A and B are shown apart, each in its own frame.
Chain A
Amino acid sequence: MKVVEKYHAITVDTDKCTGCTHCMKACPTEAIRIRGGVANINSDRCVDCGNCLRACPVDAFYVEHDSLEQLNKYKYRVVLFPAVMIGQFPEIYTEGKIYEALLKLGFTHIFEVEQPIGMLINEIKREVEKSTRKPMISSFCPAIVRLIQSRYPSLVDNIVPVKAPHDLAACHAIELLAKQGVKREEIGTFYVSPCSAKMAAVKRPLGEEVSAVDGLIKMSDLYNHIMRVIDKEEKTDTAPLRKNLTLDGILWSLPRGEARHFKRNSMAVDGIHNVVKILERMENDEVPVLDFLELKSCHQGCAGGILLTGNRFLTVERLQKRSKRYPHASSIDISAVSCLGIKDKMKANPIEPRYVFALDTDRLKALEKMQKVDRILCQLPGIDCGSCGAPNCHALAEDMVQGKAKMTDCIFLQNRYLNENKINIEKATKNLEKAWGKNRFDADCNRRGGRNEGF
């Protein structure tokens, strides 16, 4: 899989998008603007968190993925899925049935990505112990890593430089098969992703040049496929425990799944807007001395991932129940899992800051622009209505000084200019059409805002 700089997992289907502004208001990095009546994502700012997709009432956001047909290209077909997937299924679909269904769908080998978690835990503990910067921040959630790179550059050195479980699991699977004499070209590794952030991270790995994953499958797609072939008869689960899978692995992607290994010297925060608040405080040195900070972009961790089908709270509940069947990581001899190949691959390259919020690379010019933003703000109404196609008045003012928007994009200013006879009505209409497209002003009974539907 090739690395594409600035690759993003999420794209907008401009045929479906109605420019309703919900995504624009939900984006934590103000990456979205409405242009020509549809949402437009600024790829420098986007952190792939998926909040826009979640907020969209018409399913206009599209997550790039591979289809199961790709399986035919390989002799050995490995499915790598995070344990959270099992938690989505209603109780009657037991672990054993889900595994059977995966084989029916054509996979030859099944791995849960948290299987080698014991190694990862040890490595993270080593890194935290050796670091003088505290607290160290988990690198598990790619959306958070990208958020820190762009919005909290002073904290990049606090990120634990280890890889995510899926990287390790892919290497682990490939090595196991290699030991049986299978050639790499014959193996297809398919990662089942709970979210757009992991998708982007697999295609554009943080630090690593080439990912060990050959195909990307949406967890929601796989859920539908499984439901098509799964055995629906009620019977008790007699499935054996999965080799090397542990309680700690199953809980890893849930809130406190990582932090619990640092006991009380840790804190866990989920939900990207909550994370923003805690990172702001951390920059002010207001967070107490802790060893480890677990930050996850989704509420309830990956159980709340945008590509999950099940309810996040029920998913957490089922996973907790499932985990009780499994041993603790510390009771498993991980030397049996660890092959040297993985050990070397565990360390991620350093994570660099990306200054995407700077107004200008030249400081004096940036200062000038900042003063201009302040002056423009005096003219804007300050109600953050979004009618200009920007998420709030401040964002519009910043777009203006960057030459990406004009004073007349604000409907309030436009009204003032009309009253003062500074512009004519044709010009004003043209302006609005630029942001909202030509037929936005026609009546259309299919066009509804989504927010209050169902009430």
Chain B
Amino acid sequence: MKLEFDIASGDFSKAGRASSRIKKMLKQLQVDPKVIKRIVVAIYEAEVNVVAHSVGGKMLAEIDGTGITVVVQDNGPGIEDIEKAMQEGYSTATKAVRNMGFGAGMGLPNINRNTDEFTIESEVGEGTVLTFRNNF
């Protein structure tokens, strides 16, 4: 089952749409609550990332019988130093965003921690692609 969500930049009121929808579906599939919790945290974090740091993008999710694969693509600005961005506590979020309680630097490491497979590709000026998967 395939799903697609557009994520607009800067609109925090809409962050959480994809994670809510996917959460409801995984519950209907009676996936173990602990597994749901991890994937939902990862997806929500990825949504907020796109809203807070990029110029916008989209999320594609595919649910099969054994797990869920999520691809998050944004259209820029891209990450300069991926290794640094993967460190706990590192953040490029603007002060305004941080004041809202988002972008405290938990993003990428938190996604990594809550997924079974995780890859990141990024090109400055092009954008970033996150791919992650959790097995049921």
Contact = CB atoms under 8 A, between A and B. Distances in A.
Q: Do A and B come from one complex?
A: yes
Interface of A: 151, 153-154, 280, 283-286, 353, 355, 357-361, 363-364, 366-367, 370-371, 374
23 contacts: A153-B33, A154-B37, A280-B23, A283-B23, A284-B19, A284-B23, A284-B41, A284-B44, A286-B16, A355-B30, A357-B27, A358-B27, A358-B29, A363-B29, A363-B31, A363-B65, A364-B65, A366-B28, A367-B1, A367-B29, A370-B28, A371-B1, A374-B1
Minimum-distance CB pairs A-B, first 10: A154-B33, A358-B30, A153-B33, A366-B29, A359-B28, A284-B44, A364-B65, A285-B41, A154-B37, A355-B30
B20 interface: yes
Interface residues of B, number: 22
B136 interface: yes
B114 to A, nearest CB: 9
Contact of B37 (A283, A355, A360, A374): A283
Select the residue from A154, A360, A361, A370 with max chain B CB neighbours within 10 A: A154
B contact face: mostly helix, strand, loop, or mixed? helix
B25 interface: yes
Contacts of A360: 30
Given A153-B33, A283-B23, A370-B25, 16 more contacts: A151-B27, A154-B34, A154-B37, A283-B37, A284-B16, A284-B23, A284-B41, A285-B41, A286-B44, A355-B30, A357-B28, A358-B28, A363-B31, A367-B1, A370-B28, A371-B1
A108 B64 CA distance: 64
Nearest to B19: A284
A280 B20 contact: yes
Contacts of B33: 153-154, 353
A283 B25 CA distance: 14
A362 to B, nearest CB: 9
A356 to B, nearest CB: 10
A273 to B, nearest CB: 15
Given A358-B28, A359-B28, A367 B65 contact: yes
Contacts of B65: 363-364, 367
A153 B36 CA distance: 10
Contacts of B28: 357-359, 366, 370
Contact of A367 (B23, B37, B63): B63
A contact face: mostly helix, strand, loop, or mixed? helix
Interface in B24-51: 25, 27-31, 33-34, 36-37, 40-41, 44
A115 to B, nearest CB: 37
A180 B110 CA distance: 61
Contact of A366 (B20, B23, B30, B34): B30
Contacts of A358: 27-30
Contacts of A357: 27-28
Contacts of B136: 363
Contacts of B1: 367, 370-371, 374
Contacts of B30: 355, 358, 360-361, 363, 366
A83 B30 CA distance: 41
B20 A154 contact: no
A360 B40 CA distance: 21
Nearest to A286: B44
Contacts of B63: 367
A361 B31 CA distance: 10
A387 to B, nearest CB: 24
Contact of B36 (A154, A363, A366, A374): A154
A373 to B, nearest CB: 9
Nearest to A285: B41
Contacts of A151: 27
A159 to B, nearest CB: 13
A115 B64 CA distance: 54
Nearest to A353: B33
A280 B40 CA distance: 11
B97 to A, nearest CB: 16
B7 to A, nearest CB: 16
Nearest to B47: A284
Contact of A359 (B20, B23, B29, B64): B29
B29 A370 contact: yes
Nearest to B110: A285
Interface string B43-77: 01000000000000000000111000000000000
B29 A284 contact: no
Nearest to A366: B29
A284 B47 CA distance: 12
A284 B43 CA distance: 9
A367 B28 CA distance: 9
Contacts of B34: 154
A342 to B, nearest CB: 33
Contacts of B37: 154, 283, 285
B22 to A, nearest CB: 11
A358 B31 CA distance: 9
Contacts of B29: 358-359, 363, 366-367, 370
A29 to B, nearest CB: 13
